Amino acid sequence: LGRGGMTMVVVTHEMNFARKVANQVVFMDEGRIVEAGRPADLFDNPQSPRLRRFLSEVL
């Protein structure tokens, strides 16, 4: 889809999948956006305590 200029929104708890296929990742908690950005930025250098805690539990 991306090569054809189309956008797709995928909701997943599979972080390795998201990291591999996404151009942008949005991390939400209780319906609110906590962090958004490139996968490398979010996974390698999370800014919020909530995202750091989540990643430490699932990765």
Q: What is the pLDDT along the chain (59 residues), one digit of tens a residue?
A: 667 888 889 999 999 999 999 999 999 999 999 999 999 999 999 999 999 999 999 88
Structure tokens at 43: 């996974």
CB 18 within 8 A of CB 39: yes
> What are the residue boundaries of the structural domains of the chain, listed by start?
2-58
Determine the pLDDT at residue 7. 87
**Cβ neighbours, 10 Å, residue 25:** 19
Task: Enter the pTM of the model.
Answer: 0.82
β-bridge partners, 28? 33
Determine the pLDDT at residue 1. 61
Determine the pLDDT at residue 2. 65
Q: How far apart are CA 56 and CA 24, in angstroms?
A: 20
